[in-house]
Amino acid sequence: MSRPATHEIAGRLAKQAQCHQTAARGTTRTQLDLVTQGRCPEQKVVIARWLLDKPKVLILDEPSRGVDVGARAEVHRVIRELASTGTAILVISSDNEELVTLCDRVVVLAEGHVSGQLIGEEITEDRLVSLSFARSHGKESAA
C-alpha cells in the first residue's frame, strides 16, 4: 500500500472518529486517553496510528471487543479495506461471527494444539465451534 493511501485511510479513520489526525498520531498515553473517553473508539485510533507507519502486516487481537455495533462494523470495514490493498492481516479472536466475517483462512486451536484449518466457504460458526472443542491428538477424556 502506498504511503499516500495509508495516510488517507488513517486520516479518514481519525476524521470519522471525530478526532484530528494529530490525535491519531498522539505519542502520549494521556492524549490517547482523552481521545478514547467516549469520543473515539480506541480501536480506530490505534489502527489509524499504525497505518501512518505503512505496515505490511497487522496483527489484531480481538479487534472489535468492547465497541458498539456501529464501531464494530466500521472496524471490520477498515480491516477488509486494508486487506484488499495488500496488507496482510492476522486476526486473533474468540468471536466466531467476527472470524466468519473477516477471514479467508482460519486456523483453530484447541487445548494448545492446531485442531483444524478452514478456508473460504468452509468457515462457518458451526465448524469453528466444532473445531474449538475438538480433542487434541485423538485423546478421549474419561467423564
Query: What pLDDT, on a 0 to 100 scale, did the predictor assign at position 46?
Result: 73
Q: Where in the chain is the domain with CATH 3.40.50.300?
A: 3-93
CA distances from 84 to 1, 27, 39, 78 (A): 10, 28, 28, 10
Query: What pLDDT, on a 0 to 100 scale, did the predictor assign at position 67?
Result: 81
Block means of pLDDT (10 residues each) for the chain, 143 residues, are: 59 52 41 43 70 83 85 86 90 95 94 93 96 67 36
Would the pTM of this model clear 0.75, i.e. be above it? no
Query: What pLDDT, on a 0 to 100 scale, did the predictor assign at position 141?
Result: 38
Which residues are registered as beta bridge partners of 122?
Answer: none
C-alpha cell at 33: 486517553
Query: What pLDDT, on a 0 to 100 scale, did the predictor assign at position 48?
Result: 74
Query: What pLDDT, on a 0 to 100 scale, did the predictor assign at position 97?
Result: 95
Query: What pLDDT, on a 0 to 100 scale, did the predictor assign at position 42?
Result: 66
Query: What pLDDT, on a 0 to 100 scale, did the predictor assign at position 15?
Result: 56
**Superfamily (CATH) of domain 3-93:** P-loop containing nucleotide triphosphate hydrolases (3.40.50.300)
Spatial distance between the Cα atoms of 66 and 109, rounded to a whole number of angstroms: 23
